[in-house]
Amino acid sequence: MAPAFVQRDRNTVCVMNASCRLGVSLVERLLRRGYTVHAATYDRGESGGSLRRLSGENRRLKLFHADPLDYQTIVDAMKGCAGLFYTFEPPQDQSYDEFLVEVEVRSAHNVLEACAQVATMERAVFTSSVTAVVWKENRKAAADFDEREWSEPNFCRKHKLWHALAKTLAEKTAWALAMDRGVDMVCVNAGLLLVAADLSVATPYLKGAAQMYENGVLVTVDVDFLVDAHVAVYESPSAHGRYLCFNAAVCRPHDAVKLAQMLSHDAAQPASSDGLRVTQQRIQTKKLNQVMVLFDAGRHVEE
């Protein structure tokens, strides 16, 4: 007899924030896998328009508007859902600062509190970041990074690493509430999402990119792999804790130049690799790899 959790693969789930790049891709993938999806958006812009067009083509997609600081709108979007895929991504024209750190932490608190109050909710997949793992005072002396590592909030504040601080504090808040309220939560700590249209040298994740490169922890992930990872840890009955998620490591000067060209949106303009050396990768995805092998093996049955 299959585990009870696996039998929920055709149930109803909520994607929040469904208006960001990851959110839209998750909605599309989940619909293809047969889920009914509550797509909760934080804005009413172009992404909301694309979801409305998609909802006209699929009756299993239901649209909601949610405010990360309005608890009731979050609960309303989750009602009747067995699962939640949650990610916080501010508008592209809004940069990370101390205020946005507080907003992201408050949002995480509201979402996990709502999970505890929605009777049908059985698992939450929380999107965090590799930046919540790799920033600490003695990072060069540390062993290779895995899911047990946490960025140090004081170090992040000292160096104004606001993206890392926000992801670290929001994830810690989520874990504290999940354990206190008995919410089954799994966390995906993603590398830099490689969507060329959304990337620039000002991308908040990349604050301190040179140091990440030197420390062997500058990693990237494409959207399809990131979506697969989210679905895999949701559907796996044995998934637990945190999962580092990336499918490329930037450790060679050639890789760094390619990333720089992508950030500048000018492939014709040469980027210099002067002063760069090959670095040793010091971060691994062994835990996620085990889940993904089983997910890939069963994909032909479920899709």
Catalytic residues: 167
Backbone region of residue 184 per phi and psi (left: phi > 0; alpha: psi in -120 to 50; beta: other values): beta
Burial readout 17-48 (b: 16 or more C-beta within 10 A, e: otherwise):
bbbbbbbbbbbbbbbebebbbbbbbbeeeebb
Tokens of 47: 């992404």
Tokens of 63: 């649209």
**What residues pair up with 192 in beta bridges, in sequence order?**
220
**What residues pair up with 14 in beta bridges, in sequence order?**
38, 84
Tokens of 91: 């508008």
Strand ranges, E, within 161-303: 185-190, 192-193, 219-221, 241-245, 248-249
Distances (CA, A) of 177 to 24, 132, 172: 27, 18, 9
252 near 198, Cβ under 8 Å?
A: no
Please tell me the distance from the alpha carbon of residue 227 to that of residue 24, in angstroms, as a whole number: 10
